[in-house]
Copies of this chain bind each other. A is one copy, B any other.
Amino acid sequence: MKAIAVEPGAGTPSLIDLPVPEPAPGEALVRTLRVGVDGTDDEVIAGGHGGVPDGDDRLVLGHEAVGVVEDPNGTDLEEGQYVVPTVRRPPPDVETNVYFERGEPDMAPEGAYVERGIVGAHGFMAEYFTSPADCLVPISADLAPVGFLVEPISITEKAIEHAAAARSAFDWQPESVLVLGNGSLGLLTAAMFRTTMGYDRVYCLGRRDRPHPSIAILDELDVTYIDSRETSVPEIPEVYEPMDVVYEATGYAKHAFESIEALAPNGVAALLGVPGDWSFEVDGGRLHREMVLHNKAVVGSVNSNRDHFASAIDTLAGLPSWVIEDVVSGVYGLEEYERAFSDPTDDATADDDTTIKTAVEFSNI
C-alpha cells in the first residue's frame, strides 16, 4: 500500500510502499479516507518536533484521520463503520499505564505515551492502518468527508473544558472571547465560539491583509478581525474590550504573556502553541500583580482524549456547513499529495497564499 512518510533531515515527505498492516487482537483494520495536514506536520517534517518509532528510520505522517472499518477483527466495531482515530498510544514497552486506564492519555507526561504520526509511532497517512478498537471513535457517514477536522476540533474542546474548569469555583459569565491566530485552528475555534457556543462578541487576531479567505470567513461569522500589526495584544482592551477568554493558537511566546493583559478581571487564557526557546523581557511585576488582583488564570493544554473527540463530532455536526467548506481549501489525491503540504520555501503569511486547511485523500468515500 502507499504511505506518506518523512525521513529525519529530508525536509519533505515522500510516497513509500508498505505492506498492508495486520490487526493484532483487539485492533481493527481501517481503510483510510482522508488525513488532514496541520502545523504539527510541518514541524515534524522540518525536524523541530516529533520522532521516528524505535528501530525505524522514517515516520509515516498523519494524526488527523478519518477512515472506514475494513475488518473489525472480532472487535465491537462493524465493517463499513466510519471512524476517527485518537492520537496517543501507550509507549511500546508497556501495555497501558494509569493515564490510559483513566481514559486521559492527554494528561500523560512525556515518556508515558507515543503520538501516532508525530512521535514514536507511525501515523495514519497510509491506505490502511490498524488501531485498538477503543481508540476509534465512530462518526456518521454524512460527516465522514470532513472527519479529519475532528482531531483539531477536539484539541479546542479540551482547551475550553480546562479553561472553563479553571473558572468553576465562582459564578463566571464570560461574554467576550479573543482567538489569537487565524490559521485553520483559530478559524475553527472562532467559529465554535460564535456558533455552537453562542458567544456574541468574538475577536480573532491575525497578521494578514484583506482580502484574504480567512478574514472573509471571520467577516461572515461576524467575528471582529484584529490585525496585530495595527493593534497589539496588550492594546486590545483599550481599543476593543477586555476579554473574558483568550485562546492562543499562534505559538508566538510573547502572546502567552500579553494574554494576561488582554484579559478582563476573572478571565482565563488557554495556551496551545508550542514555541521554541526565546528569551525576552517582561514586566513580570505588573503581570504577577495583575494575575492576583484580578483573579486571572492561564492554562496550558495539549492533545485531547476520546471524550473530546466525541464532543468534537457533535461540534462538527453543529458548525455551519459553509464554514467547513470555506476552511477546507483543498483535498488532494495521492497523485498530487505534495500540494497538501506547505512549501517550506514559502512564507506562510504571504498574502497570495490562500491555503487554509488541506487534506490528503487515500480512498474514495
Q: Which residues of A contact B (CB under 8 A)?
A: 102, 104, 106-107, 109-110, 161-162, 164-171, 253-254, 256-257, 264-266, 271-302
Q: How many Å lie between the Cα of A265 and that of B256 in the bound state?
A: 18
The answer to whether B266 touches A288 (Cβ under 8 A) is no
The answer to whether A297 touches B297 (Cβ under 8 A) is yes
Known A-B contacts: A166-B166, A168-B168, A295-B299. Give 12 more (CB < 8 A).
Answer: A104-B171, A162-B169, A165-B167, A165-B169, A166-B297, A253-B288, A256-B284, A271-B292, A276-B285, A278-B286, A279-B285, A297-B298
**Most chain-B CB neighbours within 10 Å: which of A169, A281, A286?**
A169
**Most chain-B CB neighbours within 10 Å: which of A254, A271, A276?**
A271
The answer to whether A293 touches B302 (Cβ under 8 A) is yes
The answer to whether B107 touches A170 (Cβ under 8 A) is yes
Contacts A277-B285, A284-B256, A288-B256 given; does A295 touch B165 at CB 8 Å: no
Q: How many Å lie between the Cα of A109 and that of B171 in the bound state?
A: 14
* Distance (whole angstroms) from the CB of A323 to the closest CB of chain B: 26
Q: How many Å lie between the Cα of A187 and that of B303 in the bound state?
A: 37
Closest chain B residue, CB of each to CB of A286: B277
* Distance (whole angstroms) from the CB of A165 to the closest CB of chain B: 4
The answer to whether B253 touches A285 (Cβ under 8 A) is yes
Which residues of the partner chain B approach A254 to less than 8 Å between Cβ atoms?
284
List 15 interface pairs A-B (beta carbons < 8 Å), by A numbering.
A107-B170, A107-B171, A110-B294, A162-B170, A165-B168, A165-B169, A168-B168, A253-B284, A274-B293, A275-B284, A277-B286, A279-B281, A281-B282, A291-B300, A297-B300
The answer to whether B171 touches A102 (Cβ under 8 A) is yes
The answer to whether A285 touches B275 (Cβ under 8 A) is yes
The answer to whether B274 touches A289 (Cβ under 8 A) is yes
